[in-house]
Amino acid sequence: AQSVTQLGSHVSVSEGALVLLRCNYSSSVPPYLFWYVQYPNQGLQLLLKYTSAATLVKGINGFEAEFKKSETSFHLTKPSAHMSDAAEYFCAVSVSTSYGKLTFGQGTILTVHP
């Protein structure tokens, strides 16, 4: 069975600083990996996904993530945080031998302060 661990339930950064949200996965088969963002009282919006093509994936709003098989990681980064990035971020995995059932991490709340 697959699982996802997000290190740090809360991350706080200054506006303009680097954003780094950590995600490690466990899967017995090649995974597909996703980052979703959730703003208050809204559903989840896809930021980016890894589908076994390029290991460095670029997403919306300036975010990117790098798939590192040796480290079983898929960390999310953004060079310069904006106030509008404040939200909860979820890393998720699905396995390629199945349909798109997602297993989510516990989420990381990102706070951006001026």
Partner 1 sequence: GAGVSQSPSNKVTEKGKDVELRCDPISGHTALYWYRQSLGQGLEFLIYFQGNSAPDKSGLPSDRFSAERTGGSVSTLTIQRTQQEDSAVYLCASSLNGRAGADTQYFGPGTRLTVL
Question: Where do contacts with partner 1 occur on this chain (CB under 8 A)?
Answer: 31-32, 34, 36, 41-46, 49, 51-52, 90, 92, 94-107
Question: In this complex, which beta carbon is closest to partner 1, that of residue 7 or of residue 102?
Answer: 102
Cα distances (angstroms) measured from residue 69 to each of 17, 23, 25: 27, 12, 10
Question: In this complex, which beta carbon is closest to partner 1, that of residue 43 or of residue 114?
Answer: 43
Question: In this complex, which beta carbon is closest to partner 1, that of residue 6 or of residue 73?
Answer: 6
Distance CA 110, CA 114 (A): 13
| Min dist. Cβ of residue 105 to partner 1 (A) | 8
Strand runs labelled E in 1-114: 3-7, 10-14, 19-26, 31-38, 44-50, 56-58, 64-68, 73-78, 87-95, 103-104, 108-113
Question: In this complex, which beta carbon is closest to partner 1, that of residue 12 or of residue 98?
Answer: 98
The token pair at 30 is 């090649």
Distance CA 95, CA 103 (A): 9
| Min dist. Cβ of residue 34 to partner 1 (A) | 8
| Min dist. Cβ of residue 39 to partner 1 (A) | 10
| Min dist. Cβ of residue 38 to partner 1 (A) | 9
